[in-house]
Structure 1
Amino acid sequence: MNIYSKLLPAIFLLLGTGGLTMAQDVRADVQHYNIFLTLNDQTDKISAVTAITVRFTQDVPELSLDLVGRSSRDTGMAISAVTEGKVKVPFKQHSESVRLTVRAKKGEIHTYRIAYSGIPANGMIISTNKFGKRTFFTDNWPNRAHYWLPSIDHPSDKATVEFTVVAPAHYTVIANGLKKEETTLPGQLKRTRYAETVVLPTKVFAVGVADFAVDHSGDVTDIPVYSYVFPENKVQGFQDYAKAVEILQFFIDKIGPYAYKKLANVQSKTMFGGMENASTIFYEEGSVGSKFIEELIAHEVAHQWFGDAVTESSWEHVWLSEGFATYMTLVYMEHKYGTDTLKEELRTDRKKIVSFAARRHTPVIDTSRQGGYMQLLNANSYQKGSWILHMLRRQVGDTAFWKGIRAYFAAYNGRNANTQDFKREMEKASGQDLGTFFQQWLYTPGMPIVSVRKGTEPHTMIIEQKQDSLFTFPLEFKATGSSALQHITIKDRITVVRVPGAEEIQIDPEINLLIKDDWK
């Protein structure tokens, strides 16, 4: 996900919507969602039936699903019936959940059909686009699917999904997976069905319904790439979104196979700059014509590997999604535009990290947070996560780094992973003990604050770590008047460096270290 509002960088939104804390029912594992949606042009009310297939991991008397109930503001979902086959299932609906009386045994698989209707308060944006045309777009991240979908709305529960949408016939429907049906119905309606056979977390479920112009941008091997844009933007939109073809090929070559059978790039009403819905990426409607469009597309396409195919097991590990997508974007830009572009992006990102650290003294992996997940959209998760990958790449070397990245993806494709899983794969690939590296950069707040000053002895410089917790890191520097790059390891509070014939040193000239430079 790209969180730049209107694609203007450096403004992180601490949004108040969504991100509610819910009790995940770990006794159940959803296998499949079969979602039937009926939409109309007269009201914002949706009518739905969702069939949820669940495998139980324990004997249970009830199943708890996330679903926002009807509120006093006339939004929310009201359930009319729950059935298993032809048998009614007792249920009790609460403000944020519904509890089904099921009496299921460990290992059993059951399918429950839940009929409901209402106006989504969040998670599905029913509005008009910038051209005044009515549109419908799901917008589930981080855990807002339950505003319109009964579900286990947590990234650790991944399932296949099928969508059947009945809507006025003038609309085009796009969703996860491949289109299986498009049928004209009486009353100027149309039924469209999509099915995704790869398991997904609910955060990247997607349905978009609008008047679209559609272009087949090209193919990457046997994967068709499409652009869905508002007709008024089709000339520029088709040109912009076609960049995804080259980007998709780059990441396949760099990381491993693409997990899905299509890639659709969709102009939408998402509240984010971009949203990495699996195989069906939503970009905010102002993205067409933006000078940042190539970076935005690269970020969201990278998420198809990291965030979608390999999904963080819990929210404190969201850097495995956002940090990875941010760094893979830089890697793509480095590939296309050269190392100087990479360095400039790293400089810019380092400034954002330093600024964020001055406001919030928290580690990248913040286990203290309960709910309020929108606040994870910050420089720790994005830019610092990206910088950590860059430093890891420099520490272990390119060959071992990409070997580890590919091994990590291969091992956890279609699964969940946490930071220790990634660490284990990188240690195997590099043959190095990365315990200190991961501990200090991911579990410790802040970064090295480095002061450099002249020593009391001739031709010496004193390098001092001024932050509270000491870091161990390789430091590159050049002495004035010399082009030679010198390397030392910093691990103490004070390090004295001999630089014969030099009055000053330039530290980190190649932009390989996340530090705050406190020069004296």
Structure 2
Amino acid sequence: MPLLSRRLRAALLATASATLVAAALPAPEPLGIGDRLFPELGNPGYDVLAYDIALTYHGSNTKPLDAVTKISARTTAPLDRINLDFARGTVLGVEVNGRSVDFGSKNEDLVLQAPRRLPAGAPLNITVRHTSDPAGAADDGGWVRTADGLAMANQADAAHRVFPGNDHPSDKAYFTFRITAPRKLTAVAAGLPTGRTRHGSTTTWTYRTEHPMATELAQVSIGSSAVLHRTGPHGLPVRDVVPAADRKRLEPWLAKTPAQLEWMEEQVGRYPFETYGVLVADSPIGFALETQTLSLFGRSFFTEPAYPEWYVDSVMIHELAHQWFGNSVSPATWSDLWLNEGHASWYEARYAEEHGGGTLERRMREAYKLSDGWRADGGPPAHPDGPAPGQKLSLFRPVMYDGSALVLYALHQEIGVAAFDRLERTWVRVHRDSTATTADFTRLASGIAGRDLTAFFDGWLYGKTTPPMPGHPDWTSAKPA
């Protein structure tokens, strides 16, 4: 709806024309921060510091949840209007800095009229009362319906289909979740629990993150769940959330997590968050997702007998590795996604090699054969193709996985084991709890290698064809048809 003041809205209903009203208050317009791949995601003019999201689940995963999203932010430019990303729910009312304001929507933006012009550097406190609708979740992300409730799968551009916010990984913030659900159900969320209160037939569960998080990594699960606790390295609390009926069946897989944490710490240094665990959803999702502190997996991933043990283990490592690469160090733009998926695939492959899978070299040689075709189909690793006209963008292509791990293999060959190891540890330490770009990575790599690697990275990250593999001049890539 257009942005109309209460007085103008009343006047419109009485005598004024739409033309006069539109002249006084222009219609809302969607904004974005200019991401090449998702140009309308994110919003300029403010920096979110914290989200406080209250959700009330009424016992049915087909009905909208009642929700209140509070956003604490600071303006970075003068603002007359504030744009939020929000696409699936009904907005019932909005306050900005304690005052009710008018609002409208356009495309996937919720546009708020500031109570007055806000200068740069001003506090910005927004409260949105809304619904959060699981309808359509199977099509384009956000809520995932499970056999007994809901979970979240927000990557890459679906968090704003659950709650309003600044839905771009460049604006990380702290999160508090307050989930009210029927007493027979269990609610969990990213971060650590800070309270649980019963109100008659319902229970409210509260969780907070101790580190900033991108909106795409938020996780809330509601269902008939068992929460299992164990201890990881350095006393790290590890909690797993599984369908209660599958608790015993899944325990052998879940018991592996502490040792997997130890393995990753040996590679890149200490785990970067306050807790970790696995969320198993009783849902036919065909993917796993690195939601922060609580990685999401479909139930069949652990119960399908056709998957060899080394494969399941290595995918668990893939999502765990993301806690460093993608979650703690988040991409500044979506074109930097190769840094997430390339590193997670790299450690997945290395773990598989050590635990009964094929060798890293064989996997990388196969990737090299296919690399030119992957680049032709989806663009090079650091410059993926945008969507075709009228189509939704799908970023998660082979070039982002083994095609990007191949870049790291080439770099490993180019600068040597010691320098590569130092690069990995330095990268996650220097950029912890922040965002970083491809240019940040290539600059750090050059510094650690002691020489300019610009030409190397230009070919491997941006070339239409795959450069020769250092140390393997006999490797060839099949030309795309």
Following superposition, the deviation at residue 350 of structure 1 comes to 3.6
Please list every run of 5 or more consecutive structure 1 residues that lacks an aligned counterpart in the other structure.
Answer: 1-18, 69-75, 448-470, 478-506, 509-514
Shift in alpha-carbon separation, 1:229–1:374, aligned structure 2, 3 A: farther
Following superposition, the deviation at residue 111 of structure 1 comes to 1.1
Contact 1:142 1:373 in 2 (8 A): no
Following superposition, the deviation at residue 184 of structure 1 comes to 1.7
Q: Distance in 2 between matches of 1:354 and 1:108?
A: 50
- Does the residue aligned with 1:203 lie in a helix, a strand or coil? helix
Contact 2:371 2:399 in 1 (8 A): yes
Confirm whether residue 282 of structure 1 aligns to residue 296 of structure 2. yes
Equivalent in the alignment of 2:363: 345
Q: Distance in 1 between matches of 2:248 and 2:124?
A: 48
Q: How many residues align?
A: 428
Following superposition, the deviation at residue 476 of structure 1 comes to 4.0
- Pick from 168, 173, 182 the counterpart of residue 187 of structure 2: 173
Q: Which amino acid aligns with 1:136?
A: L
Give aligned-pair identity as a percent: 24
- Pick from 84, 93, 112 the counterpart of residue 100 of structure 1: 112
Contact 1:263 1:280 in 2 (8 A): yes
Contact 2:190 2:218 in 1 (8 A): yes
Equivalent in the alignment of 2:203: 190
Contact 2:373 2:478 in 1 (8 A): no
Superposition map of 1:421-436 within 5 A: 421-436=440-455
CA deviation map 1:100-136 (0-9, x unaligned): 122211111221110011523334435342xxxx211
Q: Which amino acid aligns with 1:127?
A: R
Equivalent in the alignment of 2:379: 362
Equivalent in the alignment of 1:467: none
Q: Distance in 2 between matches of 1:32 and 1:270?
A: 33
CA deviation map 1:240-261 (0-9, x unaligned): 1222211111112221222211
CA deviation map 1:47-92 (0-9, x unaligned): 0000001111111111100001xxxxxxx31111111454212222
Confirm whether residue 236 of structure 1 aligns to residue 275 of structure 2. no
Equivalent in the alignment of 1:494: none
Q: Distance in 2 between matches of 1:82 and 1:428?
A: 49
Contact 2:98 2:125 in 1 (8 A): no
Following superposition, the deviation at residue 375 of structure 1 comes to 2.1
Shift in alpha-carbon separation, 1:106–1:185, aligned structure 2, 3 A: same
Q: Given the two structures, how large is their TM-score scaled by the length of structure 2?
A: 0.84
Shift in alpha-carbon separation, 1:334–1:368, aligned structure 2, 3 A: closer
- Pick from 66, 70, 90 the counterpart of residue 78 of structure 1: 90
Larger of the two Rg values belongs to structure: 1
Q: Distance in 2 between matches of 1:473 and 1:347?
A: 9
Contact 1:137 1:270 in 2 (8 A): no
Superposition map of 1:35-434 within 5 A: 35-42=53-60, 43-68=62-87, 76-84=88-96, 86-102=98-114, 103-120=117-134, 121-122=136-137, 123-125=141-143, 127-129=145-147, 134-186=148-200, 188-268=201-281, 269=283, 271-289=285-303, 290-291=307-308, 292-337=311-356, 341-357=359-375, 360=377, 362-366=379-383, 369=386, 374-434=393-453
Confirm whether residue 516 of structure 1 aligns to residue 477 of structure 2. yes
Greater shift after overlay, 405-414 or 269-278?
269-278
Larger helix proportion, structure 1 or 2?
A: 2
Q: Which amino acid aligns with 2:395?
A: L
Q: Which amino acid aligns with 2:477?
A: K
Following superposition, the deviation at residue 266 of structure 1 comes to 0.7
Equivalent in the alignment of 2:51: 33
Contact 2:96 2:125 in 1 (8 A): yes
Q: Distance in 2 between matches of 1:260 and 1:128?
A: 27
Q: Distance in 2 between matches of 1:61 and 1:21?
A: 21
Contact 1:362 1:446 in 2 (8 A): no
Following superposition, the deviation at residue 362 of structure 1 comes to 2.1
Shift in alpha-carbon separation, 1:89–1:345, aligned structure 2, 3 A: same
Q: Distance in 2 between matches of 1:305 and 1:270?
A: 27
Q: Which amino acid aligns with 1:443?
A: Y
Shift in alpha-carbon separation, 1:234–1:473, aligned structure 2, 3 A: closer
What is the root-mean-square deviation in Å for CA atoms of aligned residues? 2.3
Q: Distance in 2 between matches of 1:284 and 1:353?
A: 29
Please list every run of 5 or more consecutive structure 2 residues that lacks an aligned counterpart in the other structure.
Answer: 1-36
CA deviation map 1:8-34 (0-9, x unaligned): xxxxxxxxxxx9652532211111000
Larger strand proportion, structure 1 or 2?
A: 1
Shift in alpha-carbon separation, 1:473–1:330, aligned structure 2, 3 A: closer
